Chains A and B, each alone.
Chain A
Amino acid sequence: MATLTRSLGDGMVIAKRNVIKNQRVPDVLIFSTIAPIVFMLLFAYVFGSAIDVPGTGYREFLVVGIMVQTILFTASNTAVGLSEDLQKGVIDRFRSLPIARSAVLVGRTTSDLANIAIVMVVLTATGLLVGWRIRGSLTDAVAAYALMFAFAYAASWMMSVAGLLVRSPEVLANVSFMAILPFTFISNVFVPSQGLPSVLRVLAEWNPVSAVAQATRELFGNTPPAGVAQSGAWPMENAVAASLIWTAVLLIVFVPLASHLYKKAASR
């Protein structure tokens, strides 16, 4: 118990340091917020004029999709932050201190969750402006945000592995962009998956991003009314369960992997 308390305490000291940094260099957070707003407006008014989502309308469909995509982009800041710290030798200092092994990663993923919260508030407001509404109950809405935060936390751990493997922040920014785009396009983030050609449709239906987007839409009440044709794949019919399973799987795989890489990650 004492070790756990100490580990969390150390993690919070480091999280506090990251938050101070985010306040002093707000560029990262500002661009993490502006980019999805641009995406949301472009898709809502340009693509939205051509894409018809039966039962709900495109904008109602799109807003949650953008939120989920933004989770991934914002989580990639975890990777950039870690690789910067490695490059500058800050990690060496932390590793020479008598702190819990997990503290640096716990601190980083926690402070990045604070960024996600800020971005979510802004996206919620922008969504409301373009006509999106929360149509479900308050409890369901809280559950929807909780689900997105859980997924964001798991994604942040996944990205921390990338940060520990790729040691250049500049390369990371490009790599993560290239990796995230297909993940979010081959999914139901921007268009309903049932219209996709067969192979892509299966990929999209089993994509964790789709599960989270579908579950969040259901909880916000943004899904089409009964009678409109829906994807019959298991993760789409049981989206909340599928999201939780995916989140758990990501954490089970990436928390130990990141911790292992961190132990070996003295800068050279």
Chain B
Amino acid sequence: MTDAIVAEGLTKRFGAVTALDGVSFTVEEGTVMGLLGPNGAGKTTSVQVLTTLQRADSGRATVAGFDVVADADRVRERIGLSGQYAAVDEHLTARENLDMVGRLYHLGRAGSRKRADELLERFDLAEAADRPVKGYSGGMRRRVDLACALVARPSVLFLDEPTTGLDPRSRIAMWEVISELVASGSTLLLTTQYLEEADQLADRIAVIDHGRVIAEGTSDELKDRLDGERLEFTVGRTEDLVTARAALVPLAKGEIVVDEKALRLTVPVTDGSDALLAGVRVLDGAGLRLRDAGLRRPTLDEVFLTLTGTPVEDAPPVDTREKELL
């Protein structure tokens, strides 16, 4: 397998701000790389360098085998970019947007029209196709934007925060669309500040913070960086939290995290199911009624917190797994 994207030691400064401080990673052909990091970590600048929109101060990068600086035109012929802000013309209709992009990829008049029809059908936009994008919902706009990125059947696709600002339903719909793309074998670089999104969509994840890649691997590999498992207990009343915490301290192999709103305690442990039984016993012994008890692996959230020392931005609640459990 060859690498569709190679970034080597990319740096970029804007005045006093260092946006990229030696970013390196590779993305194998036909795989999905998730670039995960908080706002201002350097995700968008990385994408801009790789899509020829910005020139790095130092370092080099190739996309689809071509240097992003020396062979910028060849790179542009082979990529699709869907930006953080839906970069479609809101005064044009979806069809006109797609047609224009097709013409600019030099697909010709008939070719552009045909491709626009295909994409409108595929992204469920056929009905709204001849209304100006201005009147579309956020989710529909993103679909138009994504469709624009796919007009020329790019071999490498860049999606910069494709679901930021979408409501939960649109986000899940967007994930389905992206999953289908991935299944069809495109190489995809996806930036996101939502751990769950990276977890669901990406084969590999590069965690980026302060312009550097601070960890890289599959979601499982990253989770393995944190030892052991987590016990989670949900108690019935706020005042129970203190009692429960005190009772659980002897079992914990690290700091117990208390979520007062959710009435939940998270306890890092090493000996899995034994710890769970012990935990239930001590809480029962303390006379507490539990609403829920469970054992789980560390989440990417916790990995992220450990790596960067800061939690990522809270994603709007779309925890599909939790919903399935309920």
Contacts and interface: CB of A to CB of B under 8 A. Distances in A.
A6 B81 contact: no
Contacts of B92: 17, 20-21
A3 B145 CA distance: 28
B77 A88 contact: no
Query: Which A-B residue pairs are the 5 nearest by beta carbons?
Result: A89-B87, A266-B53, A98-B76, A96-B81, A93-B87
A92 B76 CA distance: 12
Contacts of A17: 89, 92, 96, 100
Contacts of A24: 91, 132
Contacts of B54: 266
Given A24-B132, A90-B89, A98-B77, A10 B104 contact: yes
B91 A97 contact: no
Interface string B191-230: 0000000000000000000000000000000000000000
Contacts of B103: 13
B91 A20 contact: yes
B148 A93 contact: yes
A268 B90 CA distance: 20
B23 interface: no
Interface in A24-48: 24-25
Given A13-B103, A17-B100, A97-B105, A268 B91 contact: no
Nearest to A94: B104
Contacts of B73: 98
B53 A96 contact: yes
B79 interface: yes
27 contacts: A6-B106, A10-B104, A13-B100, A16-B100, A17-B92, A17-B100, A20-B96, A24-B132, A25-B91, A88-B87, A89-B84, A89-B85, A89-B87, A90-B88, A90-B89, A92-B48, A92-B53, A92-B87, A95-B53, A96-B53, A96-B81, A97-B101, A98-B73, A98-B76, A98-B77, A266-B48, A268-B14
Contacts, number: 68
A203 interface: no
A166 interface: no
Given A94-B104, A97-B104, A21 B89 contact: yes
Nearest to A17: B100
A16 B83 CA distance: 23
A89 B83 contact: yes
Contacts of A92: 48, 53, 81, 83, 87
Most chain B beta carbons < 10 A, residue from A20, A89, A94, A98: A98
Interface string A70-98: 00000000000000000011101111111
A51 interface: no
B105 A98 contact: yes
B146 to A, nearest CB: 12
A16 B99 CA distance: 12
How many interface residues does chain A have, given as a range? Answer: 20 to 34
B51 interface: yes
A92 B79 CA distance: 13
A191 interface: no
Contacts of A8: none
Q: Chain A's interface: helix, strand, loop or mixed, by majority? A: helix
A150 interface: no
B24 to A, nearest CB: 22
A90 B82 CA distance: 11
A99 interface: yes
A10 B76 CA distance: 15
Nearest to B78: A98
Interface string B98-129: 00110111100000000000000000000000
A96 B91 contact: no
Interface string B38-66: 00000000001001111000000000000
Interface in A86-125: 88-90, 92-99, 103
Most chain A beta carbons < 10 A, residue from B86, B103, B132: B103
Most chain B beta carbons < 10 A, residue from A20, A96, A268: A96
Contacts of B14: 268
Contacts of A89: 83-87
Contacts of B76: 96-98
A5 to B, nearest CB: 11
Interface in A128-182: none
Given A24-B132, A96-B51, A98-B73, A13 B104 contact: yes
A98 B88 CA distance: 17
